[in-house]
Amino acid sequence: MFYGMPIRAVQTRIIPTGNANSRVYLRASDPDRILIDILNGSSQSSGTCSVELPTDAPIGKQFTIQVICSNNSISNGFPTTAITVSCGQFSTTLGYGNKADVYMTRNGWDTTYNNGLAIGPGATTARGSTSSGAIAIGVNAVTSYNASVGIGNNAVCGTESVAIGGGTATALSHAVAVGYTTTAGEDGTALGMGSGCNNLAGIALGMWSKATRRGELFVSTDHLQTNKQGFSILSWIGDTTNATPTEIYGLAGAAATSRMTLANSSAFSFNIQAIARNNVDDVTSGWTLVGVIKRGANAAATALVGTVTKTVIGADAGAATWDIAATADTTNGALIVTVTGETGKTIRWSVRGDISELRF
């Protein structure tokens, strides 16, 4: 019995040519478990069984289907072939003693349940396990993956992301997009109308702010769609184990995608704060580097303006040979940070750059 609605076994003989009847039944003590009892299982090699479930069950209602052999002996043996339970567009293969769960979803009974909530015309949470726990609220809001939340007209979400706002607010995997026509790339955050971050772990704050570099935090100061003026925080990280000058990047080991590249016809001033430490020997050093860099029509036209001012803020005696430099990269059109450590010593570097930027 299921909320007053019976489960009806449409066919109770699983193996039409078997030497004994098989049956489908419910236990009074466990009305939400359907038992498929295969008698003399080893002699039954094929067949079908159909169970009719009520179509008006509430969303989220669960039944468990389990395969048993109640009267098997050693001579009869257990079923040796797999048993497939099909429901909706999915199927699950079971062996003796195994079980499968079926759920009532927005689209009918299925072996997976998205456990989601969709409210509004055209709002959808994708069917199946990929959208477990998803919420879509608003006209054409779409949450297609696990634990995602989309609220607003045309809000679109990736895995474990949040999109709130109209005009197609879009959040990719593990991202947050809030505001009209915002777009947040993977692991990114975009807050404010028209804001966006199109690189990994970027953060864009305020109307029409666009973070284009990995891990960049960008704030527009003109708040125009053209996004020509703003300030940002950049970072470089890495480890060294020798005294060879080594370029470090926005994400350790990700050189090609993590350089701090300038746009064509742009310039920015930078104030870099750097810290380095050999933790084994308790040796630390810190610097500031202040300068200006520009890029013309292409990457080859990238150059420092004047001289970078470097200051040692404080350093232990053991860090006397360590060094850091900020230079222009005319191959990639970027500001690069190069560090020099010490042979045989593991030194970790963490660098932050405060940037004021103009684009044309």
Return the minimum-mean-pLDDT range out of 103-117, 158-172, 258-272: 103-117
**Is residue 130's pLDDT more than 60?**
no
pLDDT in tens, 286-316: 999 999 999 999 999 999 999 999 999 999 9
Report d(CA 347, CA 41) in Å as an integer.
66
| pLDDT at position 320 | 96
Average pLDDT over residues 35-61: 59
pLDDT at 343: 96
- The pLDDT of residue 37: 63
For position 92, what pLDDT does the model report?
Answer: 56
For the ranges 86-95, 112-121, 174-183, 277-286, the maximum mean pLDDT occurs at 277-286
Residue 303 near residue 290, CB atoms below 8 Å: no
pTM of this structure: 0.67
Give the pLDDT score at 136.
83
- Residue 125 confidence (pLDDT) above 80: no
- Cβ count within 10 A of residue 298: 11
Give me the pLDDT at residue 227, please.
81
CA–CA gap between residue 99 and residue 119 (Å, rounded): 33
Query: Which DSSP symbol is given to 337?
Result: E
pLDDT of 73 higher than 50? no
Would you place residue 93 in the very low, low, confident or very high pLDDT band (cuts 50, 70, 90)?
Answer: low
For residues 192-206, average pLDDT? 90
Q: Tell me, what's the pLDDT at 34?
A: 67
User: Roughly how many angstroms between the first and final C-alpha of the chain, as a whole number?
Assistant: 71
| pLDDT score for 271 | 98
Q: Which domains does the chain have, with CATH numbers?
A: 8-110 (no CATH), 117-213 (2.150.10.10), 231-359 (2.60.40)
| pLDDT of the residue at 105 | 63
Q: 246-248 and 334-340: which strand pairing?
A: antiparallel
The span from the CA of 50 to the CA of 68, in Å, is 16
Question: Is the pLDDT reported for residue 148 higher than 80?
Answer: yes
Average pLDDT, the chain: 78
Q: Is 20's pLDDT higher than 70?
A: no
Confidence at 140, pLDDT banded by 50, 70, 90: confident
- Class of residue 253 by CB neighbours under 10 A (exposed 0-12, middle 13-18, buried 19+): exposed
